[in-house]
Structure 1
């Protein structure tokens, strides 16, 4: 080795979580090495959250041109320049990239190595020609697209989220294997930009989500033209001419021009030398305790690779906990984090805490379910956004779960994330004074419905009111 480094903290992976750890640690006085073999910014910036939302935004503008008749605006067929839409995606990435760049982190004082990292002992990592000895390590290597074991898949050209954004020519008919968040977001974006789209899901579409809420999303996508094959596993994939044919278990054949595989993800733990460092792992990722430490107490794992959820915001939360633990020796727990999730289709679908099914499994009949529809919200009516609903699950007077489907659901879920995390009473939400008219009032309306049977349907309350009115 031509170079040896001894530092306080070595971070492996320059995605959201790794960058947050490195930036926080170095600015608080620790010596830090950051190792990244791929793109700075990781999956979220380059292949995930950022480009997908940028492409959805392009599709939203196209959709707006073909709607609007109810507002007195004559619809017109959008003329979509697919390559220009992809240029928009590239510009968005380029605008954010400096914040995640090697130059910025080196300017903060981080030593950045653009190599593959591999443990050679319990406290030493090799990266190219550099040998790094550290007091603490953080593995933040994220995840990558999973490839299902489908006959013929390895013999055809297919896209994943890591490659689909480089496609410059609009697919005539995009076949999507997988009906989760990535699959449905890309389905709607490409449909609105002029492609035909068929989504193939072996199990249940959005099976993790509340049935009452997910149906708003699926119904909306069907109305726009997305075709679904639900409960239909692909048994074979093959090229035929210039197209691709997917054969389902029942024998149905679906022909398309392009194939996107969005059938889950797997942690990036290959060739990290985990055994040499005494780090245990499973197919789900690196085994960690409540404080995110691995079986090697010097090594933490955060984000996707820790097997606790695949969300950028979860990786960021993990990063904050690890900085407290590794730099200050403070006890931390990741098990109590309240983590929302959002599907960014139109309408959006957001969930935090327990769904109704999960709450009934945990608390039985001791829960109350509060709902409010967007059509009862005045701002939703002014904007023509009445397709939506909020569902709040209450246990002993406090919200334990909330799901929202509709416009800006991802923004509205923040209130309920705070309420559940801080164990706020439902009465506090019901008593808020909010600006009128806003979509946020749908949350207050749902919270207020907690008191409907207690105040308006309670005979005792009516008797008390009548008695008080007789007083002079």
Structure 2
């Protein structure tokens, strides 16, 4: 057995682990990163980047179909599934290559391959190696959570999002189970590329928006884009010929359909199996997660930190990177640790239309008994949205009574990925609704819809009248 004695051991070389390494290695060379799987991060290999490549192809197909609305004689003759997936895989491999190159540039002594497990506090077994570390960072990520009986019944006809990006061509049909972010994005992208898709949910909800009317609007818009059964009970799944037979029950009774594949987008679970965290004195809650301090990433008062999707809080790349930086910095200075400020929440769904949440959600504000008001705008008549034939959706913005402080927003509609950034920055800067309205709004742009929502919010907050802003004509269709 080879023994390694280091200052810091990081378990996992994903986005959080790599950022933790960068942070810690600025202060110590006594460090090792342990990885049991392929290098390349979830984002680059099976997450953010390949999914956006597939969505980009879907958006291009959608644009061709929409061309006649602008008086253009265009038609989508066919979707070349092999060409679509060839580009997805090729560009995916390019992104993964950048990450792998980065890891391979680390000193050999900083890399250890194998599955880590705790032997006792401060000691990890990795195959025939043993690692003794002053501090340990757990950054093992998460795994799709799939019912075991589905695996047994369907074999390779049951897939998760990871598998989609290894396809060599597009299938004819897919049942997507799960109406969260992953299920929604992939279901709509495949449907826009001509795949027969049925999206199945279990509680009527579609996507992450929490305000009831926005949740209803999301349901209606998604339902218009593909076959949706948002409140369905899966009765049985079984192999049938060269496909999958899915029986599900809705308010209309039991239905049965056959698909080439069943794509399970039924949530994710932390990668803690086999890590033996209890031998390090680490407690796991009844949901299988490890409680920790989000300001320091520290677990209890132990010399152990946690970062990234493994803890299940805001499983997003920028959050994982922040986790890694905080964990890496605090592991270096332990036992002295510092509370680090977190960025304003920002989440984006690349659906059709896009969805975004910035700052506090309606559900969070309600649960916390915050005294807040809501301003709204529909994009049906919004000027620039109509110009571009994307006039669907709505935006809700939230502000605090008394202070007039902007608290957050939820939206489904055009340019949500861009509006989301503006609104998250406004929350982080602590702006009031009045200060936001005092900022420039060009004409004609989608952002004029935001101005309309903010004006409505200002009225709901019953604050003193704001100073005039720009020409009255610009309000028309804004």
TM-score (norm 1): 0.89
Q: Decide whether aligned partners of structure 1 residues 152 and 358 sit closer, same or farther in structure 2, where only a CA change above 3 A counts.
A: closer
Any unmatched runs of 5+ in structure 2?
468-478
The equivalent position to 1:278 in structure 2, one of 277, 281, 289, is 281
| Secondary structure of the structure 2 residue equivalent to 1:66 | helix
Equivalences for 1:114-133 in 2 at 5 Å? Answer: 114-133=113-132
Q: Aligned partners of 1:125 and 1:247: how far apart in 2?
A: 46
Task: Identify the residue that residue 434 of structure 2 maps to in structure 1.
Answer: 427
SS in 1 for 2:373: strand
Matches within 5 A, 1:227-266: 227-249=227-249, 251-266=254-269
Range with greater deviation from structure 2 (181-190 or 432-441) = 432-441
What is the distance in 1 between the residues matched to 2:97 and 2:30?
Answer: 22
**Matches for 1:189-338 after TM superposition, within 5 Å:** 189-206=189-206, 208-209=208-209, 210-224=211-225, 226-249=226-249, 251-282=254-285, 283-290=287-294, 291-295=296-300, 297-328=302-333, 329-332=336-339, 337-338=343-344
Decide which moves more: 192-201 or 421-430. Answer: 421-430
Separation of aligned partners in 1, 2:435 and 2:279 = 53
- 1:307–1:452 distance in 2 versus 1, CA, 3 Å: closer
Q: Which range moves more in the overlay, 82-91 or 366-375?
A: 366-375
Alpha-carbon offset, residue 239 of structure 1? 1.4
Which deviates more from structure 2 when the two are superposed, residues 316-325 or residues 434-443?
434-443
Alpha-carbon distance, 1:394 to partner: 0.7
Q: Which residue of structure 2 aligns with residue 59 of structure 1?
A: 58
User: For 2:232, what is the secondary structure of its paired residue?
Assistant: coil
Count how many residue pairs are aligned between Structure 1 and Structure 2. 455
The alpha carbon displacement at 1:141 in A equals 0.7
Displacement of 1:314: 1.6
Q: Is contact 1:20-1:320 (8 Å) kept? A: yes
Q: Which secondary structure does the structure 2 equivalent of 1:313 belong to? A: helix
Of 103, 106, 120 in structure 2, the residue corresponding to residue 105 of structure 1 is 103
Q: Deviations over 1:133-188 (max 9, x none)?
A: 22211111111111136x55522130001212212232222111111111111111
* Secondary structure of the corresponding residue to residue 160 of structure 2: coil
- Matched residues in 2 for 1:7 and 1:124: separation? 10
1:148–1:333 Cα change, 3 Å: farther
Deviation at 1:40, TM superposition (A): 1.6
Q: Aligned equivalents of 1:18 and 1:307: distance in 2?
A: 15
Q: Say whether residues 1:135 and 2:134 are aligned partners.
A: yes
Q: Contact conserved, 1:14 with 1:35, CA < 8 A, in 2?
A: yes
Matched, 1:446 2:453: yes
Distance 2:110 2:47 in 1: 26
Assess, with a 3 A threshold, how the Cα gap between structure 1 residues 444 and 39 changes in structure 2: closer, same or farther: farther
Contact 1:122 1:296 in 2 (8 A): no
Q: Report Cα offsets for 1:29-87 as digits up to 9, x if no partner.
A: 44321111112233222111111111111111111121111222123024211122112
- DSSP 3-state at the match of 2:292: coil
Candidates 372, 375, 378, aligned match of 1:373: 378
Is the CA contact 1:175–1:259 (under 8 Å) kept in the aligned structure 2?
yes
Equivalent pair of 1:179/1:200 in contact (CA under 8 Å): yes
Please provide the CA RMSD for this pair.
2.7
- Between 1 and 2, higher relative CO (CA 8 Å, sep ≥ 6) is seen in 2
Change (3 A) 1:104 1:233: same
Distance 1:215 1:95, change over 3 A: farther
Residue 474 of structure 2: aligned partner: none
CA drift of 1:271 comes to 0.5
Separation in 2, partners of 1:15, 1:294: 20
- When structure 1 is superposed on structure 2, of 21-30 and 6-15 the one drifting more is 21-30
Deviation at 1:22, TM superposition (A): 0.9
User: Cα gap change, 1:106/1:255 in structure 2, threshold over 3 Å: closer, same or farther?
Assistant: closer
Q: CA deviation at 1:205?
A: 2.4
Pair 1:64–1:130, CA change in 2 (3 A): same
Deviation at 1:382, TM superposition (A): 2.8
How far apart, in 2, do the equivalents of 1:29 and 1:357 lie?
43
CA contact (8 A) 2:398 2:407 kept: yes
User: For residues 78 and 217 of structure 1, what CA distance do their matches in structure 2 show?
Assistant: 30
Change (3 A) 1:24 1:246: same
Distance in structure 2 (CA, Å) of the matches to 1:244 and 1:452: 54
